[in-house]
Structure formats: structure tokens, C-alpha cells
Amino acid sequence: MPSLGWHLAISLFVISSFVDKNEWKKAVLLVPFGILSDIDAFIGIHRATLHNIFFILTPVLSFVALRALLRVRGEVRKMQSFCYFCFASVLVALHVLLDAFHTGVFFFYPVVLSSYDLSFRLSVRETGLSTAIGCENVGKVGEVVYATVPSPGVPEIPLIGSGIEFVTFICALLVFALKFLPPVFRH
């Protein structure tokens, strides 16, 4: 699976690209959504319980429920934070997509119990560009097991798996820090 470093790097770059620099507190609160799905390594079935379309929609559906509750109570306020609920869903979706392109996820769990592994390749040939897109059913719940903790069969689970990933993570962290450094430290 893509390591914690890749998930955090992508989240930091995306948040830095779309969240206003004056919203640094909200930016910091959004970061965990980029790795939230991996909690299913400890509860439920890894790459199924929190790596599916239903979990991706949870932040947006939570907003809709909250807004309905406020209307019923007569506390209709301007809820400008809708974009942050959507943004949280995007970060969860990016996490799931990264994992889907690296050995697969159970996209439609618990309705469909199959894991799907996506693939994509773009290359250059003498005749021009070549692309390949694929989706393979790699098995069902119980048949496919994604390693989440070190064991004799899988002695190591990388947090950051390569030098390229380390440099990418450090760059993402610097971009995030330089954009969202609290105002106290900017002067």
C-alpha cells in the first residue's frame, strides 16, 4: 500500500493548493482526513471498512444531516463550512484512490465484497504516446488480506518507503508550513 508518507504528502500539497493561507487552523484540521481511512487496519477489514465509496461520502452526508438538524431546531445559520466538508471527502477519496492503484481496495464494501486493483500507465514509444488503463478483481473479503502490522511473512511496514518519497514528503511539509505558518511566526 502507499505508505503514510505518500498519503500525507498528497494531502499537504492538495490542502496547500486550495485552502486560503488565512485559514491555517482549518488546513491543519483537514490533514488527518488524508490518512483517516487507514484506521480500518485496526478496526474492521483493512482496505474495506473505511476504503469505500460510502465512507468517502461521510463528511458531505454529515454536513447535510447537521444542516437539517439545525433547520428543525430553527437555528438556520449560514454554514459556510460546507466546502470544508467536501474537501474532507476529497482527501478521503484521494487516499482511497492511491490505495486502489496499489494492490486494490473494496470500493463498494459492504454491498460488494470484491477488491479491485486499478492500473494506469502512460509511456512514450517511437510511434507516439501509449496508455494502458485497467481494473482487476483481485479477490473477495477473506481471500485478500492487506498486511498492516509487521509479521514473519511481512517483516516491515514502511512509513516512508523510499528516498523519493522522503524528499516528496519533506517538500510537501515545507510548502504546507510556509503557507500556513501561524501569523504570530510570519513577522
Confidence check: pLDDT of 148 > 80 = no
Residue 108 lies in a domain: yes
The amino acid that residue 14 corresponds to is V
Confidence check: pLDDT of 144 > 70 = yes
The tens digit of pLDDT for each residue in 4-38 reads: 899 999 999 999 999 998 898 999 999 999 999 99
- Per DSSP, the residues of 59-110 read HHHHHHHHHHHHHHTT-----TTHHHHHHHHHHHHHHHHHHHTTT-B-TTTT
Domain residues for 26? 4-114+145-186
Residue 131 lies in a domain: no
Measured distance CA(55)–CA(61) in Å, rounded: 10
Residue 137 lies in a domain: no
More confident residue, 65 or 166: 166
**Total domains in the fold of the chain:** 1
Q: Kindly state the average pLDDT of the residues 158-187.
A: 85
In sequence order, what are the beta bridge partners of 76? none
Residue 45 lies in a domain: yes
Measured distance CA(10)–CA(148) in Å, rounded: 20
Q: Kindly state the average pLDDT of the residues 178-182.
A: 85
Residue 125 lies in a domain: no
Residue 153 lies in a domain: yes
What confidence score (pLDDT) does residue 132 get? 92
What confidence score (pLDDT) does residue 183 get? 60
Q: pLDDT category, 60, cuts 50, 70, 90?
A: confident
Prediction pTM value? 0.84
Residue 154 lies in a domain: yes
- Per DSSP, the residues of 130-177 read EEEEEEEEEEEBTTB----S--SSS----SS-SHHHHHHHHHHHHHHH
Residue 58 lies in a domain: yes
Q: pLDDT category, 63, cuts 50, 70, 90?
A: confident
